[in-house]
Structure 1
Amino acid sequence: MSLRHALLGLLADTQQNGYDLTKRFEQTLSGHAWNAGHSQIYPELKRMTAEGLVEVVDEGSRGSKVYGVTDAGRAELRRWMFSPLGETPPRNEFVLRLFLLSSLDLPDVRVLAERMAGTSDQRAIDLTHAIKEIEDSTPPGQPHGYARFAAEFGRRYFELQRDWARWVVEQLESGERPSS
């Protein structure tokens, strides 16, 4: 995934200025899918404008530009959405730490696994609350929207991490000695 595709997806949903786009990025994608700040978002918007993927559709107060996705931008987003998964190298700090557990002493593995379980459990709880907010803000009889799908994936993902970390602690407590 690239910042470009994340921005195209957010702009395909609704036209936004750079400030609102940065805020929405932080509220929806940061910490779950992709991280980027305004120092990355604004230059990317400029490049995407030059390449015809987005366009300035309005100018707000103090010269703020409202961006919208072009037909070429929608085509690029669609191309990327249907490209095979794994075209970009995966980055998952949690999994990296799993591979490096053997570098720790067993008591440290226990502490780290318990910390991972707690952190993952809290993130699952936070997403459960976010899901409730999505459901509560959806008018009766209307679908909850695609944000609900992403939030549900995140909740289940963090529950899986939590359950795995608790399993590790159980294995250590039962006297199971992992081999490298």
Structure 2
Amino acid sequence: MSLRHAVLGLIAEMDGASGYDLLKMFEISLGNVWPARQSQLYGELGKLADAGLIEVAEEGPRGRRAYRITDSGRAELRHWLVDVPSKGSRKDESLLRVFFLGMVEPEEAQRYMRGHAAGVGEYLDELTALEKNVDWGEDDLSVYGRLVIEYGKRFAAMRRDWFEWASREIESLGERGAERGRGREH
């Protein structure tokens, strides 16, 4: 997925949205799958306008611009949705670190695992609170937004549970190693 297509999709759903409106929608809807900073979003709006995929629908006070998607933009969004295969990311820095945790003391490895479990648990709490605070309707953004939030909650819960389990596994490895060491002393 690209920021380009995320912005096109939001503009298609929110005809007449300003950059500020889009940024807020990113925060409450797409932030758990494709976060964007303000500078990235406004830069992308300029690129999309230059490419003829969106246009300014109206200009308001203090330079506020509301955008709408063009026919070319709809065609580009549809092409991306239907014709371009999704590229799932297989990179996960936290799991790469887990792979090498044997290089540190077991207590440090457990601390790393527990820290990740706690962090993912906090993220799960944030998603749950966000879900409760959104005024859900029957529009497409609400229907599909609920699906994405549910995925985020389930994925976060799975990761939290896995990091907790892995921490216990590391602890039991340490206990088994200590028992083997005591057995050699006799």
TM-score, reference length from structure 1: 0.82
* Equivalent-residue separation in structure 1 for 2:108 and 2:163 (angstroms): 13
Matched, 1:147 2:148: no
Render the CA deviation track for 1:115-137: whole Å, top value 9, x for unaligned: 11111112112222222334xx3
- Structure 1's consecutive aligned runs of 4 or more residues displaced over 4 angstroms after TM superposition are none
Q: Which amino acid aligns with 2:130?
A: A
Provide the alpha-carbon RMSD of the alignment. Answer: 2.3
Structure having greater relative contact order (Cα 8 Å, sep ≥ 6): 2
* Equivalent-residue separation in structure 2 for 1:39 and 1:155 (angstroms): 28
Q: 1:120 corresponds to which residue?
A: 120
Q: Which amino acid aligns with 1:79?
A: H
Q: Percent identity?
A: 38
Tell me the CA shift for residue 171 of structure 1: 0.7
TM-score, reference length from structure 2: 0.80
* Equivalent-residue separation in structure 2 for 1:21 and 1:165 (angstroms): 34
Q: Measured at CA, do residues 48 and 90 of structure 1 come closer, stay the same or move farther in structure 2, by a change above 3 Å?
A: farther
Q: 1:164 corresponds to which residue?
A: 162
Tell me the CA shift for residue 103 of structure 1: 4.0
Render the CA deviation track for 1:40-71: whole Å, top value 9, x for unaligned: 22221111111111111111112211111112
Higher helix share: 2
SS of the residue corresponding to residue 86 of structure 1 reads coil
Q: Which amino acid aligns with 2:61?
A: S
Tell me the CA shift for residue 35 of structure 1: 2.9
SS of the residue corresponding to residue 166 of structure 1 reads helix
Structure 2 residue runs without a partner (length 5+)? 177-186
Tell me the CA shift for residue 148 of structure 1: 0.7
Residue correspondences, number: 171
Q: Measured at CA, do residues 92 and 77 of structure 1 come closer, stay the same or move farther in structure 2, by a change above 3 Å?
A: farther
Q: 1:101 corresponds to which residue?
A: 101
* Equivalent-residue separation in structure 1 for 2:52 and 2:41 (angstroms): 16
Render the CA deviation track for 1:58-116: whole Å, top value 9, x for unaligned: 111122111111121122122222321217x5554433433443443321110010011
Q: 2:24 corresponds to which residue?
A: 23
SS of the residue corresponding to residue 35 of structure 1 reads coil
